[in-house]
Amino acid sequence: MCTGPIRRFLAGSGFLALAAVLAAFLVPLGVSLVAAGGSGIGRTGTALAASSGISGFFAVEPGLLRALGFTLLQAGLSACAAVLIGVPAAFLTARRSFPFRRILLALSGVPLCIPPAIIALAFVLFYGRQGYLNVFLMRLFGYTEPPVSFLYSLSGIVFAHGFYNFPVVMRTVSQAWERLPENTAEAATVLGASPIRVFLTVTLPALGSSVVSSAILVFLYCFFSFVIVLLFGAVGVTTLEVELYQAARSALDFARAGKIALIESVTAAAVVALYAAVLRRTNAENSGLRGNRPRTRLKGLSEYLFTALFLAGLLVFFMGPLVSVAVRSFSSVRDSGAGFRFTLEPWKALFGRSSFGTVLFNTVSVGISTAVLSTAAALFFAVWSESGSRSHTSPRSSSLGSTGSHGSTGSLGSTGSLGSTGSHARTRASSSARFRRVPSGTLRFLSVLPLAPLAVSSVMLGFGWTLLVPSGVPALLVLAQSAVSWPIVWSQIQTSLDRVPASVKDAAEVMSDGRLDRAFRVYVPLARKGILSGAAFSFAFSAGDATLPLVLSIGRFENLALRLFRLAGAYRFAEACACALLIALLCAVAFFLQDAEGPERSVHAENKGALL
Amino acid sequence: MKGSLEADQLIKNWPMRTISVSFSVLPGQALALLGPSGCGKSSVLRMLCGLLAPDSGRVLLDGTDVTKEKPYRRGIGMVFQDHALFPHLNVEDNIGYGLATLGVGRKERRRIAGDWLSRFDLSGFGKRKIESLSGGEKQRVALIRTLVMKPGVILFDEPLSSLDAPLRRRLQTELRSRQQELGYTAVYVTHDDDEARVLADRIIRMEQQPDS
């Protein structure tokens, strides 16, 4: 057990880590917003020429308005698509037992573990003009032209976003559905409602907030989507995020980039505020859910048919693209979707490049550094706010508050962690209203911190940094990635802490010698699983992130995600697939290592070890 | 007089236990099914109202076999444990939910709800949200919601279990007097001997077999 000075050193390091990630978020945000006024700092450090004053600032060009409109449209449609697929999937996973249910549930990890760059590549391989689906259909029906041609359009973006994000909706809604008490639906049945009326008038309203909160989260992710829109967006149709990237990196028009950043942030902040309100309501509603209904087998021919069609659809449309990546990485670089001949050629080409070792080293070292920094910051914040919040409440209210908190943990934690999942926007998760029992104004302010990164994109953050540091360095990438990923780590840790019963926290308060002692002997050991899981998420985010390395433009720096992006851009798909598989493998190792720790031990067992 | 109910050798099997019951209730009578937790009392009610299909046996209402009927066609109402009020609907809409199924118009539903609310000393509660009601008020709203459907028989699944002791005692008396006043046949499920004695004319004690 570490002694007093070591504890103080570790706590101090945590504080510094938190200060660093907050600064890494707030400083570039401020700089990019200043640039919106036309007086930003140029790449060479010289002040940019002032634009045409206040009127110029508010005059938004039509092109920008079009981009805003398209951004909202594609994000809205994508959220609807995710809900349309996610809600039936939630019904199946929450209410029915059937073969492959566990596999369907496991898909909820896909948005978390697979970077958008891989998803984009997978969709190109499967749905592209020369993709496996088109080749299959052309052979089967004798078409001379590829019949599937929607990929490079709004439909393609919505399709990819919808399938990529439906697990977010599925997981959140499923968890609420599982705990929905049976008696209200039964009461409606006894009162004569048909199954459809029961669903529409009783079940759906009860699930409404869960559906809406997860849909808003998907909306936010799609609002900031970068790689998928960059690849699939039709000519002349872009989103604000892509516009921002082009203004900042291609046109070097920083005043315009700043303006885009401002519009983007204000819009996203409004959505985040809405999300926070809906999430509060969801948590309040779900905290009262006590049901724990056993799942039943599929009923009747119609349910069997629906489930079979749904699973077959997912297998083809969702798993098909992902399997394509694996298949293509073992086919010849000259092969298109038309043929498959097993070969290790792409892997040899990938490993054979002289810079491969450096790229791998960069990925692992930056990933580990990001995981360490973001975990240190998140752990400090979680433990500090936890012990702080308890010391601000009377024993009675604390206990009551904690009980409520514990009750709602399922929905909160899960929404939060899922929300925070995946790459960039989603990594800045849904940090929920965990501080609802805290009366202190300071802690209320602190509760906003993990939500703030939701309203800012990676491109915008990177843009702010490039204004300050024109030539990026790897350390900057670690800082920027930590600024984006620490909320998800915090969400994981907080979920672990929320599971600790109020009585255990009370005991810790009575038996420990101050906050630091309590933190190291009780909170940190109890949150161990959350800490490891958060660190794995952070590593996975860093390893799969091509956006920040691209925007920061670090000289002679390349990680595996950036290499994947470049290989795909050069139409070296087989090699890009091998690269994608390697990233997935690295992420799998990170998750395996945290999982090897075993499941979260019971609080009583933890408590015994922690306090004795 | 209508409202006789008979459970004729109702049997439900699960891998680890079996429920087997036979009893009848006369019109206007109140019967209490008493027994320890887990002995299957609630499952019996669910079989009677059609939420759970028995493996064998019959449910007879006024001599007619309703075992295969859908729940709402049986003419049997049910008041659920924890009331099972719809949290997103106000009091009036909760009461009118079943009436809407019957095609009763909104205006008429409001009138009926208002009438019943005043009979139960809840005048002016129509627009109230469910979460704003006390335990006793929720219990009364749940009863009204069932009564407006004019069932011959009402089943009560531990109707007072979520309430504190003083309120429970007060509502036991109220439920008893309402049942006598309105004359419906009632079947209560409870694990409380005293409650069963206050509520019912007749008590059937369900027992758990040692090997079940």
Buried b / exposed e along A514-533 (16+ C-beta atoms within 10 A) = ebbebbbbbbbebbbbbbbb
Q: CA torsion angle for A491, A291, A196, A282 (degrees, to 10)?
A: -30
CB-CB contact of A89 with A170 (8 Å): yes
What is the distance of C-alpha A171 from the center of its chain? 13
For residue A417, the tally of other CB atoms under 10 A from its CB is 24
**Best to test chain A binding among B14, B80, B99, B112 (most A CBs inside 10 Å):** B80
Question: Per the CB < 8 Å rule, is A183 touching B101?
Answer: no
The residue whose two tokens read 């990923």 is A485
Report residue B77 as tokens. 């109402």
Q: Considering only CA atoms, which of A428, A454, A469 is closest in space to residue A551?
A: A469
The alpha carbon of residue A539 is apart from the nearest alpha carbon of chain B, in Å, by 42
B104 contacts chain A (CB < 8 A): no
Residues 6+ apart with CB under 8 A from A230: A242, A245
SS3 A368: helix
Report residue A6 as tokens. 């070591």
The whole-number pLDDT of residue B123 equals 92
Question: Per the CB < 8 Å rule, is A190 touching B78?
Answer: yes
Rounded to an integer, what distance in angstroms lies between the CA atom of residue A242 and that of residue A73?
Answer: 15
The alpha carbon of residue B145 is apart from the nearest alpha carbon of chain A, in Å, by 9
Concatenating the DSSP letter of every residue in A89-157 gives HHHHHHHEE-TTHHHHHHGGGHHHHS-HHHHHHHHHHHHSTTSHHHHHHHHHH--SS-S---SSSHHHH
Give me the total of CB pairs closer than 8 Å, taking one residue from chain A and one from chain B: 60
The alpha carbon of residue B85 is apart from the nearest alpha carbon of chain A, in Å, by 6
Least CB-CB distance to B101: which of A192, A206, A285? A192
Which chain B residues have a beta carbon less than 8 Å from that of A183?
80-82, 84
Residues of A with CB under 8 A from a CB of B: 181, 183-184, 186-193, 197, 201-202, 205-206, 208, 285, 288
Nearest chain A Cα to B50, which residue?
A190
Report residue A448 as tokens. 């906003």
SS3 A296: strand
Concatenating the DSSP letter of every residue in A208-233 gives HHHHHHHHHHHHHHHHT--HHHHHHP
Report residue A340 as tokens. 């498959």
B80 contacts chain A (CB < 8 A): yes
What is the distance of C-alpha A504 from the center of its chain? 31
SS3 A41: strand
Cα angle for residues A518, A524, A528 (degrees, 5° grid)? 155
The residue whose two tokens read 């050193």 is A9
Question: Per the CB < 8 Å rule, is A191 touching B145?
Answer: yes
Q: What secondary structure letter does DSSP report for A470?
A: S
B16 contacts chain A (CB < 8 A): no
SS3 A331: strand
Q: Which amino acid is at B127?
A: K
Rounded to an integer, what distance in angstroms lies between the CA atom of residue B146 and that of residue B154?
Answer: 8
- As a whole-number percent, the residues of chain B with pLDDT over 70 amount to 98
Q: Which amino acid is at B139?
A: Q
Concatenating the DSSP letter of every residue in chain B gives ----EEEEEEEEE-SS-EEEEEEEE-TT-EEEEE--TTSSHHHHHHHHHTSS--SEEEEEETTEE-TTS-GGGTTEEEEBTTBT--TTSBHHHHHHHHHHHTT--HHHHHHHHHHHHHHTT-TT-TT-BGGGS-HHHHHHHHHHHHHTT--SEEEEESTTTTS-HHHHHHHHHHHHHHHHHH--EEEEEES-HHHHHHH-SEEEE----TT-
Question: Per the CB < 8 Å rule, is A193 touching B81?
Answer: no
**DSSP run (H or E) holding A556:** none
Question: Per the CB < 8 Å rule, is A206 touching B87?
Answer: yes
Nearest chain B Cα to A191, which residue?
B98
Which chain A residues have a beta carbon less than 8 Å from that of B82?
181, 183
**Best to test chain B binding among A191, A285, A292 (most B CBs inside 10 Å):** A191
Report residue B59 as tokens. 């449910």
What is the distance of C-alpha B195 from the center of its chain? 15
* Average pLDDT score over residue span B68-72: 84
Question: Per the CB < 8 Å rule, is B84 touching A193?
Answer: no
Give backbone dihedrals phi and psi of A534, rounded to 5 degrees, phi first: -65, -40
The whole-number pLDDT of residue A430 equals 36
Q: Considering only CA atoms, which of B114, B178, B168, B173 is closest in space to residue B143?
A: B178
Give backbone dihedrals phi and psi of B25, rounded to 5 degrees, phi first: -130, 135
Question: Per the CB < 8 Å rule, is A190 touching B77?
Answer: yes
For chain A, residues with pLDDT lower than 50 are 39-55, 58, 391-439, 601-612
Question: Per the CB < 8 Å rule, is A206 touching B72?
Answer: no
ipTM over 0.90: no
For residue A37, the tally of other CB atoms under 10 A from its CB is 18
Nearest chain B Cα to A182, which residue?
B84
The whole-number pLDDT of residue A509 equals 65
Rg (CA), chain B: 17
SS3 A47: strand
CB-CB contact of A338 with A134 (8 Å): no
Residue bearing the bigger pLDDT, B128 or A4: B128
Question: Per the CB < 8 Å rule, is A184 touching B86?
Answer: yes
Give backbone dihedrals phi and psi of B59, rounded to 5 degrees, phi first: -115, 120
Give backbone dihedrals phi and psi of A472, rounded to 5 degrees, phi first: -70, 160
Question: Per the CB < 8 Å rule, is B80 touching A193?
Answer: no
Question: Per the CB < 8 Å rule, is B86 touching A201?
Answer: yes
Rounded to an integer, what distance in angstroms lies between the CA atom of residue A358 and that of residue B84?
Answer: 63
Residues 6+ apart with CB under 8 A from A225: A74, A75, A78, A116, A157, A161, A239, A241, A425
The whole-number pLDDT of residue A443 equals 57
Least CB-CB distance to A192: which of B49, B72, B84? B72
Question: Per the CB < 8 Å rule, is B84 touching A187?
Answer: yes
Q: Which amino acid is at A443?
A: L
The whole-number pLDDT of residue A340 equals 65
Question: Per the CB < 8 Å rule, is B85 touching A184?
Answer: yes
CB-CB contact of A497 with A523 (8 Å): yes
The whole-number pLDDT of residue A593 equals 76
The alpha carbon of residue A184 is apart from the nearest alpha carbon of chain B, in Å, by 5
The whole-number pLDDT of residue B88 equals 82
Number of H helices, E strands in chain A: 32, 2
Query: Is a pLDDT exceeding 50 seen at residue B195?
Result: yes
Q: What secondary structure letter does DSSP report for A49?
A: P
E strand spans, A286-343:
296-297
Give backbone dihedrals phi and psi of A392, rounded to 5 degrees, phi first: -95, 0
Report residue A567 as tokens. 């290989």
**Best to test chain A binding among B69, B74, B78 (most A CBs inside 10 Å):** B78
Question: Per the CB < 8 Å rule, is B82 touching A183?
Answer: yes
Q: Considering only CA atoms, which of A376, A380, A387 is closest in space to residue A515?
A: A387
* Average pLDDT score over residue span B138-153: 90
Q: Where are the alpha helices (DSSP H) in A316-454?
A: 320-329, 345-352, 356-391, 395-407, 409-419, 424-427, 441-448
The residue whose two tokens read 């659920």 is B80
The alpha carbon of residue B76 is apart from the nearest alpha carbon of chain A, in Å, by 8
Rounded to an integer, what distance in angstroms lies between the CA atom of residue A583 and that of residue A543?
Answer: 7
Question: Per the CB < 8 Å rule, is B101 touching A208?
Answer: no
Question: Per the CB < 8 Å rule, is A183 touching B84?
Answer: yes
Which chain B residues have a beta carbon less than 8 Å from that of A179?
none
The alpha carbon of residue B139 is apart from the nearest alpha carbon of chain A, in Å, by 14
The whole-number pLDDT of residue A36 equals 65
The alpha carbon of residue A201 is apart from the nearest alpha carbon of chain B, in Å, by 9
* CA contacts within 13 A on the Cβ side of B128: 17
Question: Per the CB < 8 Å rule, is B80 touching A183?
Answer: yes
Report residue B186 as tokens. 């009632």
Q: Considering only CA atoms, which of A303, A301, A290, A289 is closest in space to residue A97?
A: A303
Least CB-CB distance to B51: which of A186, A192, A193? A186
CB-CB contact of A47 with A39 (8 Å): yes
Rounded to an integer, what distance in angstroms lies between the CA atom of residue A260 and that of residue A256?
Answer: 6
CB-CB contact of A85 with A250 (8 Å): no
The whole-number pLDDT of residue A611 equals 28
